[in-house]
């Protein structure tokens, strides 16, 4: 698996119990189902058993699954479809921007200021994640610092960057100008994202 799926293998090796780590940390199935594609389905037979089942018999999008499994599926997509982490992060940004530019979110983002949007994100986190927390530590009209706390190893650099890319997509569509988000802290059980932007004059 290390040769074919190196990002997945590295992620699982860093966890205390591999694919079975942190069963109390949960994610909605919609998060992984939004990124699987025909390449993922074709590779099902080389995946660990729990991931094979997610591909072959996907649970409903509203079901709760282990977050490790959800993150592992994201790693599978990275390994199968992209030549670099940078390419994958660009894909994540574009996919999230397309999602947020749809009818369901477009009006909400157009009416929300960037700082209000981030406060809403903290509330919505619990809709998609259990066993981790999203906290807005600092917020102003043009700057924010958010913190995510989680079980050891649940997020790594690639997953943190993907989270930041999703937040940037939402900020860009909310009217923020020249928004930049970066990982300012990354520890085994915590990450911080720092963001700045301009507002229209």
Structural domain contains residue 1: no
∠ CA 94-100-103 to the nearest 5 degrees?
A: 130
77 located within any domain: yes
- How confident is the prediction along the chain (201 residues), in pLDDT tens digits per residue? 667 899 999 999 999 999 999 999 999 998 898 888 888 888 889 999 999 999 999 999 999 999 999 999 999 999 999 999 999 999 999 988 887 776 656 655 555 677 777 778 888 899 899 999 999 998 888 999 999 999 999 999 999 999 999 999 888 887 888 999 999 999 999 999 999 999 876
- Same domain, residue pair 134 and 57: no
E strands, 96-142, are: 129-130, 133-139
Reduced to 3 states (helix: H, G, I; strand: E, B; else coil), residue 166 is helix
Per-residue confidence (pLDDT) for residue 115, from 0 to 100:
75
Q: Do residue 117 and residue 69 come from a single domain?
A: no
Does one domain contain both 76 and 107?
A: no
The tally of domains found in the chain comes to 2
CATH code at position 157: 3.30.980
Asked if residue 98 belongs to a domain, the reply is no
Residue 96 lies in a domain: no
- Whether residues 108 and 71 share a domain: the answer is no
Do 167 and 181 touch, CB atoms closer than 8 A? Answer: yes
Give per-residue burial for 105-123: e unless 16+ CB within 10 Å, then b: beeebeebebbebbeebee
Residues 13 and 53 in one domain: yes
Residue 94 forms part of a structural domain: no
Domain around 20: 6-81
């Amino acid at each position: 698996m290390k040769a074919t799926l190196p990002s997945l293998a590295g992620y699982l090796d860093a966890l205390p119990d591999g694919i079975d780590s942190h069963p109390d940390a949960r994610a909605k199935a919609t998060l992984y189902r939004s990124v699987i594609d025909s390449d993922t389905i074709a590779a099902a037979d080389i995946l660990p058993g729990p991931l094979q089942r997610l591909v072959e018999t996907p649970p409903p999008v509203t079901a709760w699954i282990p977050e490790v499994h959800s993150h592992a599926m994201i790693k599978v997509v990275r390994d199968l479809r992209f030549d670099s982490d940078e390419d994958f992060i660009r894909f994540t940004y574009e996919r999230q921007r397309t999602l947020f530019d749809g009818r369901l979110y477009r009006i909400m983002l157009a009416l929300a200021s960037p700082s209000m949007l981030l406060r809403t994100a903290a509330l919505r986190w619990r809709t998609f994640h259990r066993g981790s927390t999203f906290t807005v530590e600092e917020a102003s009209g043009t700057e924010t610092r958010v913190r995510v706390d989680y079980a050891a190893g649940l997020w790594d650099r690639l997953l943190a960057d993907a989270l930041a890319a999703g937040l940037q997509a939402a900020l860009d569509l909310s009217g923020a100008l020249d928004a930049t988000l970066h990982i300012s802290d990354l520890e085994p059980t915590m990450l911080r994202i720092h963001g700045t932007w301009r507002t229209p004059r």
